[in-house]
C-alpha cells in the first residue's frame, strides 16, 4: 500500500505547523520549549501573520527558537528583548511583535526592560518561559528559583536570608497600568497545552488591536537542570511550582 493511500486529508489527525522547519531539535528530552514553539507557530499561521511576524530572542536556551520557526527574528543582548521589541513595533506597527525569554533573562538582567516596556503599554507580547533555573549555563539559581530548591549556586537549597525570595514577575506585571493581558499557563498535559495556545492567541490579538502590552508566562520544567527524568520533572512542577506560581489569568483588560 502506498503511503499516500493512508495519509489522506480525511485521515489526517495532526500535522506539523508549516512555520516549523526540519532542523533537528537540540533541546533536552522533556524540555518545554519545543511545545511552546509549536503553539506559537500554530497561532501565527491561524492568524495569517506568517509574513508579518517578528520575534525577538535574547540569550539562554530561549535564543534558539530562531532555528526552528520560519519567521523574521532579531536577537537581542541579554535581557534587552522587550526594548528591541518596542523599537520594532513602533517602527512597524502593522507587525506582530513578540519576545521569547527565559526566567534568568527576563527576571534578572532584563527586569528593568520587562517592567518598563509592560508599564508603557507597548503593543507587544512577552512570552516568558519560567523553569526556575538557568538551564543553559549550568543550572544556577535564577530569580524564580523556589525557596529550598537546590541549584548549582545554592546546593543546600535557596535560603531567603541569603538569596532573597523568588520573584513573581507576572504578579508584578498584572499591577501595571500598561498591561492588557497577563496570564500564567503550562504545557505538561494536552488540556494545559490547549489553554496555553488560547492564551498566546489572545495576547497576540491584543497586541495587534493596540490594547497594550501582554505577558504570557509558561511554568516549565528543566529536567536536566533539576536532575530528574521528564516524567518526574512534570510531577515535581505540579507539586512544587504550581502552588507558588498558580496558573490562570491574572489580568484581562477587555
User: Comparing C-alpha atoms, which of 215, 249, 217 is closest to residue 123?
Assistant: 215
pLDDT of residue 62: 87
Residue 91: which residues within 8 A CB-CB, separation 6 or more?
none
Question: Can you tell me the distance from the alpha carbon of 38 to that of 69, in angstroms, rounded to the nearest whole number?
Answer: 9
User: What domains can be seen in the chain, in order of their start residue?
Assistant: 28-252 (3.40.50.970)
DSSP classification of residue 65:
G
Per-residue pLDDT of the chain (254 residues; tens, 9 = 90+): 565 666 677 777 777 888 999 988 889 888 999 999 999 999 999 999 999 999 999 888 888 899 999 999 999 999 999 999 999 999 999 999 999 999 989 999 999 999 999 999 999 999 999 999 988 778 799 999 999 999 999 999 999 999 999 999 999 999 999 999 999 999 999 999 999 999 999 999 999 999 999 999 999 999 888 999 999 999 999 999 999 999 999 999 87
Amino acid at each position: 500500500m502506498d503511503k499516500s493511500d493512508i495519509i489522506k486529508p480525511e485521515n489526517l489527525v495532526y500535522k506539523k505547523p508549516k512555520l516549523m522547519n526540519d532542523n533537528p531539535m537540540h533541546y533536552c528530552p522533556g524540555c518545554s520549549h519545543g511545545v511552546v514553539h509549536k503553539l506559537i507557530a500554530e497561532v501565527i499561521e491561524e492568524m495569517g501573520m506568517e509574513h508579518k511576524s517578528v520575534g525577538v530572542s535574547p540569550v539562554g536556551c530561549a535564543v534558539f527558537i530562531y532555528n526552528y520557526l520560519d519567521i523574521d527574528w532579531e536577537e537581542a543582548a541579554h535581557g534587552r528583548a522587550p526594548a528591541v521589541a518596542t523599537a520594532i513595533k513602533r517602527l512597524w506597527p502593522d507587525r506582530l511583535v513578540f519576545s521569547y525569554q527565559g526566567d534568568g533573562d527576563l527576571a534578572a538582567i532584563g527586569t528593568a526592560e520587562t517592567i518598563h516596556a509592560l508599564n508603557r503599554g507597548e503593543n507587544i507580547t512577552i512570552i516568558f518561559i519560567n523553569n526556575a533555573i538557568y538551564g543553559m549555563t549550568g543550572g544556577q539559581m535564577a530569580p524564580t528559583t523556589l525557596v529550598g530548591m537546590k541549584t548549582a549556586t545554592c546546593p543546600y537549597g535557596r535560603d531567603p536570608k541569603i538569596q532573597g525570595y523568588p520573584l513573581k514577575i507576572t504578579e508584578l506585571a498584572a499591577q501595571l497600568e500598561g498591561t492588557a493581558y497577563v496570564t500564567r499557563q503550562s504545557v505538561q498535559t494536552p488540556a494545559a497545552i490547549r489553554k496555553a495556545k488560547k492564551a498566546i492567541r489572545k495576547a497576540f490579538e491584543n497586541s495587534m488591536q493596540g490594547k497594550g502590552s501582554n505577558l504570557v508566562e509558561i511554568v516549565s520544567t528543566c529536567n536536566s537542570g533539576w536532575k530528574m527524568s521528564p516524567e518526574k520533572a512534570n510531577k515535581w512542577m505540579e507539586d512544587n511550582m504550581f502552588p507558588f506560581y498558580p496558573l490562570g489569568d491574572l489580568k484581562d483588560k477587555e
